[in-house]
Chain A
Amino acid sequence: MANQLTEMLKGTLEGIVLAFLTEDPAYGYEITTRLRDEGFEDIAEGTVYALLVRIEQRGLVDVAKVPSEKGPPRKVYSINEAGRTQLAEFWQTWNFLAGRIERLRPTA
Chain B
Amino acid sequence: MAAKWIEMLTGSLEQKKQYREHVARLDALPAPYGEAAKAVQRYLTYAGAAEDGDTLVTMIGDHVDLWERAAVDGTPVRAIVGDNPVEFAEEFARAYAGKQWIDRERNRLTQAIDAAAAKQEGRQES
Main secondary structure of the interface of A (DSSP, over half): helix
A residues touching B (Cβ–Cβ < 8 Å)? 28-29, 43-47, 49-51, 53-54, 57, 70-72, 74-75
| B69 & A54 in contact (Cβ 8 Å cutoff) | no
B64 to chain A, nearest CB (A): 9
Residues in B whose Cβ lies below 8 Å from that of A51: 91, 95
Interface residues of B, dominant DSSP: helix
Is B96 engaged at the interface, CB distance under 8 Å to the other chain? Answer: yes
Measured CA separation A51–B71 after assembly (Å): 20
The answer to whether B80 and A46 touch across the interface, beta carbons within 8 angstroms, is yes
CB-CB under 8 A from A47, the residues of chain B are: 82, 88, 91
Subset of 9 A-B contacts with CB under 8 Å = A44-B78, A44-B79, A46-B79, A47-B82, A49-B80, A50-B95, A57-B96, A71-B68, A72-B68
Which residue in B65, B80, B95 is a CB contact (below 8 Å) of A44? B80
